[in-house]
Structure 1
Amino acid sequence: MFDWLPTDAIHLFFVLFLSFLIGLEREEHKTNNEPYAFGGVRTYPLIGLIGYSIAVLNSGEVLPQALGFAVVAAFLLLAYWHRLSSTGAPGITSEMSGLATYLVGALIYHEMFWLATALTVSSIILLELKTQLENLAKRIQATDILTFAKFLLLSAVILPLLPNTPLTPFKINPFTSWLVVVAVSALSYGSYVLQRVTKNQSSVLMSALVGGAYSSTVTTVVLARRSQQEEQTHLYSGAILIASGAMYLRLAVLLALFNRDLMSRLALPFIVLGGLAILVGWLWSRRGYAGAATMKPLEPKNPLEISAALLFAFLFVGMLVATHLAIEYLGAVGIYSLATVMGVTDVDPFILGMTQSAASSTPLSVAASAIIVATSSNNLVKGIYAFTLAPRKTGLESLCFLLGLAAGGLLLLL
């Protein structure tokens, strides 16, 4: 049918249709017995038509359209002043939606149909979800906004400024190194947010799963200490195993992000190991379950603190240098020794260092084996932590589980 109609008729149809939708949403205020509400199903289509007509009369020139925008804004300002003087109720949402309707008419003239539709839909959603959005704003704390701003600082401000070229004899790429920091911070921040969201109904198993995605070592220590306060051996030993299973899933995601060759070798085994550990841990935790045990959620350090990001960047660059020196002077044995030592603390800097050096100085098979050794070493150390900090039976079960998980990882070397 549009093929038979002139272009202006099609444009008018879209202007009336989209502006009518905005007016229809605003009409609800008149049915809610408000003393004064600006506009409705007639006013907003008229504003849209004014925006389109001014663009037509001036062949799309920017200045006349801007002057028309200013005139419409002046009328809307008078309407807002009248509402304040008559009712005293603040709120300029309806007037702002009127300005958006004017822009819809101008966009239709320039045949920016997608943008005009997106502007209309976005306006309607923002207007309709007033209560939900205001409740969300009340739940968000100032620290949460600051935390997200720090993430934007790390990713959208600092990252584009860094040179994307290898520097120094160790071929360290500043852009790639900081990109690794951003990726790890993003994953940790996702876990951090989940812990904040579920803090009021956090069970032991949920804390283990979410905390394991953040740091399985820290989670193991917290669960082991917590198990001294409750006589639920199977629950806590199973939860500790779940935390280590979540570590494998986290590492599979990081490998997929930074080295596809290593991912093709290790992602599937890591997903299988992680999924199996989580399943066995959950089944084991149900044995002799004594009720809906809950625990205070983990309170890890904000992963988007600038000091934490700089520390991780320093450790990552240090691992790149150490890996380069180890492969040059000690060969594969040096890499495996370094992997074993790094398993005692945080394996992320070493494993992500392997994703970068595997493309240059370290053979792919050696890098894959070193990652397996590091994860198995980390599981062994966590088993020792659990055995030391938890009650004897819980610690022994946790140690056996983590030794089995470490052995399962080493079987991949075959």
Structure 2
Amino acid sequence: MAPRPSTLRLTGHALAQVALAVPTILAATLVAVGGGTALLVIGIPVLLVGLPLLRWIADRHRAMAAATLGHPVPADRLPDDDLPLLARLATWGRDPMSWRELAWAFVSASVGLAVSLVVVLLMVGIVTLVLWWYATPQLMRLRSVADARLLSRGSHELLEERVQVLTETRAETVEDSAAELRRIERDLHDGAQARLVALQMNLGLARELMESDPGAARELLAEASTTTGAALGDIRDVVRGIHPPVLADRGLAGAVQALALDLSVPVTVTGELPERPSAPVETAVYFAVLECLANVAKHAGAEHAWVELGQHDDLLVVVVGDDGRGGADPSGGTGLRGVARRLAALDGSVRVSSPAGGPTLVTLEVPCESSSPRTTPSSATG
């Protein structure tokens, strides 16, 4: 647990909060006016000034509250990186944290300002120094608790959001599983099953011709041998689509290196995994990387791609990048959406940064628990 800040430091926080009171009122006014006139277009430039200013001020208060309380006060805003202007404004508008920060601004500039002023004024008078020394930690903690409650989502909201996410990911996982079963059934029916039926017919004919026409029987047996090999190949392809043998044998890093060798674009694989993730995590991340590299080969027009593997505490992080034309849009196709659904079932996430002209970076993050210690040395495949 972080040590509690001193009374002097808390007083410094109070002085900063007093100094930020006027900018807070200004930012909140700009946001309110800009939001009310955004449909008239004239409010958009006002919002573009007011909302970033309000967010910056709120983040300063989050930092002070976190230092006072000894625990983080996260913003939990909706991501808006690399979004076009109108999409960013729409994201700000539907982000609950934007409304929380606006409400906080008026509370901070009134009740919060009063608390901070009391702390500052108690320090000014010689008679009130003792009261300042003992009252400041309590007053600043009271203000910090209020700031933290308004500037971060409560446990009830987080629980509701978690239930909603689990409901959606469960439905998507069931749908994906049903589609995968249909694909396996189709592949077996059209591939291995058809070849095995032909094999059975050839063997039956060969048995009938064994005495009357041994030469024709031998040709049928040779054809049956070829059909057997093709059927085994079809079955191996189906099994590889469920859980690639290279993933079981060599782990995630080795399997990704194998993918890199097969890609038409040169791919560099780097990174180190101190422990081997669990099988579900390995499988999900493997197929996510496979989809990302397939997109590079098909759409990016890249000369080079790279995959960076890393593990930070209990978080597996994989970055797939390329130097292609950029402009990748997760909402424009099913590939990246499928990757996001696959990882969401494991509480994972996908972030895409792909400005026009590149580079494109797809960051995959999945909470992981190790299945067995296994150190994979850094390597490069290109």
* TM-score, with structure 2 as normaliser: 0.23
* TM-score, with structure 1 as normaliser: 0.22
Higher strand share: 2
